[in-house]
Amino acid sequence: MSLSLENVTHSTFDEHPYAHLFTTSDPAGAVLFRTDVMQQVVCSPRGAELVKAVLSGEASPEGLPPDVRQVLLDMGAESAASDHDPRRGGTVNVPTLYLVPTLACQLGCAYCRITRKQGQQTGSRLSPEAARNGIDHVFGRVPSGARRTLVLFGGEPLLVPETVFSAICHVRGGPESANTDIMLQTNGIPIDAETAEFLAANEVFVLLSLDGLEEVHNQHRMLLAGGGSFEASVAGYRKAKEAGCRMGISATSTVETADRFSASFEAMLQELAPDKCGAVTHLHPMSGERSPHQIAPDVAAGIQIETYSAARRLGIYHQQMCERIGPFVSGTRRRYACAGCGGKVVVAPNGAAGICEYNAGDGRSFVPLKEFSTDTVADFLSWAARSPLDADECVRCPALPGCGGGCAYDSQQILGDALKFDPWLCETNVRIIHWLMGDLLTQLRGRLPAGDFHILAPEDRALVLGNITPEAANIPMPHIVRYHDPGAQRCCAE
C-alpha cells in the first residue's frame, strides 16, 4: 500500500521560503500556506495562477486584494522563527514524569526495543519508596497549580503492582492531585476487577497496547508462555472500561501487518470504542539500526491517513495525526514531538533518573535521582534545544508547523547524532501535509462564497477534524505535545 499524491502539486518559491502553494485537480483549487505566520488562503484555479506569478516575481502584488497581499508579503518570518528561547526551564519546571517499575513483560513482541535491551536494568524493580521519591523530586519543582502528568510505563508496569498502586495513591493523596493527570500504559493482561476499580476510582487513564483485532494483534504480541495475547488483553481492556476508566488504544503497524492494519484498526475502534487511539508506524531501532519490522514512509503516511479518517468518522481522538494537524487548526506551531526534549524525567527500575526510557538499559544520561539536574545530565539542554523551528534545514519544509522533530533517541541510534532529524520522518510528514491540503479543500467544498480568494478562519481549518473535539478532556498527556506561536508557548489543551 502506498499513498498517491498525484492529485496534489506543491510549489515553492526561492524568495519566499515559508510560502507553499498546494494545487489540486479534484476539487479544483489551491491552498497557499504560510508556515511562519500560520495563515492560509484558499484560491480558485485562476487565483492560484495569480498567486504563483506574484510569488515567483512574474507579476505585481498590486493585482491581489489587499488582505491577500498582506498574507503573501507578511514579514513575520524571522520573528516567528527566532522569538522563543528553545531551552526549557531546566529541572525547575519539568511537567512530565515517567515511572518505569520494570522493563520485564509477559510478551515477546519482536519489534519491542525496550524489553530486548534491558542492560543494566535487567531484573530491577522500582520500589514503592523510590517511586514516591521520584514524584516528590520532580513534581515538587513544578509551580503549584500547574498541570503535570505521571506516566506509568514499562515493560509491563503492573508486574510490580505494589509500586504502581503506591505511586497513584501518593499523587492522589497529595496537594496537587487535581492538577495531575495519571496514565498507565499496559498490555491489559494483569487488569482484574479489583485493579480496574482502583484505576477508575483514582482517575487513571488506561492506554492499552493492542495492535488490532486478533489476527493482526497476535502476529507479534505473543505470550512468552506460548500463544497469542489478544483475548487476555481485551479482557483487561473491558474490565477497565466497565469500571469507568477512560481508555486509549495504541496499535503498532509493521511490514508483516501493513496490508491488513488499517481495516483491522477501524474494526477494533468500532468494537471497543476507546476515548483515544494511536497508530504507531515508527519503530524504535534495534542495535543502532532501523528495525527490520519498520514500514516505508509512503506506507506509514497511508496508514496514518486511513486510520485517522476512520477515527475522525467515529469522533475518536487520533494521537499521531492530531498532534500533526492540531497546530494547523489552532494557528500555532509544534515545537517538540517528544517530552524527552527537556520536558520529562524518567525514573528507571533501578531508581536512576534520566530523560529517555529507551536509554535506561545502557544508562546514557541516567544518574542517581537526587543528583538529577541540567548540570549532571549532559543531554538535557542539548535535547531541549532540538526543534525544527530552530533548524535552518527545516525552514523550507511544508510540514514544519506540525513536525516537532521526531525522536532524539532514534536519531542518536540511527544517525549517530540526537540533534539530527530522521529523513524517514521527514518524508512521512511531507506526504501527510500534502494529503491534508487536499482534504481541507474537500471539506471546504460548497462552503465558501464565490470568488478567487478566501482567507481561512479557525472554523474553516477545524473542518479537517470532522467529529473529533480536541478539548482538554479528550487529550490525555497534554504536556507531551507543545505548540509554539509568536511570543508564547502553550500546551495544545490549555
Low-confidence ranges of the chain (pLDDT < 50): 1-4, 77-89, 472-474, 477-494
Cβ–Cβ under 8 Å, residues 437 and 25? no
- Is 13 a member of any domain? no
The predicted pLDDT at position 471 comes to 57
- Is 338 a member of any domain? yes
- Is 36 a member of any domain? no
Give me the residue label for grid cell 494545487: 23
pLDDT tens, position by position, 110-164? 899 877 778 778 889 999 999 999 999 999 999 999 989 999 999 999 999 999 9
- Is 484 a member of any domain? no
Give exposure, 139-175, as e/b (b: 16+ Cβ within 10 Å): beebeeeebbbbbbbbbbbbbbeebbbbbbebbeebe
The helix (H) or strand (E) run that includes residue 317 is: strand 317-318
The predicted pLDDT at position 489 comes to 31
- Is 352 a member of any domain? yes
The predicted pLDDT at position 5 comes to 62
- Is 62 a member of any domain? no
Cα(56)–Cα(278) distance, rounded to whole angstroms? Answer: 40
The predicted pLDDT at position 178 comes to 94
Domain that holds residue 236: 90-384
The predicted pLDDT at position 493 comes to 27
- Is 440 a member of any domain? no
The predicted pLDDT at position 4 comes to 47
CATH code of the domain containing 256: 3.20.20.70
Give me the residue label for grid cell 500534502: 434
- DSSP state for residue 223 in the 8-state scheme: B
Listed in order, strand segments (DSSP E) in 380-481 are 453-455
Cis peptide leading into 145, omega within 30 of 0?
no
pLDDT tens, position by position, 388-422? 999 999 999 999 999 999 999 999 999 999 999 99
Cβ–Cβ under 8 Å, residues 246 and 288? no
Cα(311)–Cα(308) distance, rounded to whole angstroms? Answer: 5
The predicted pLDDT at position 34 comes to 96
Helices (H), 144-229: 161-172, 193-201, 214-217
- Is 233 a member of any domain? yes
Structural domains of the chain, count: 1
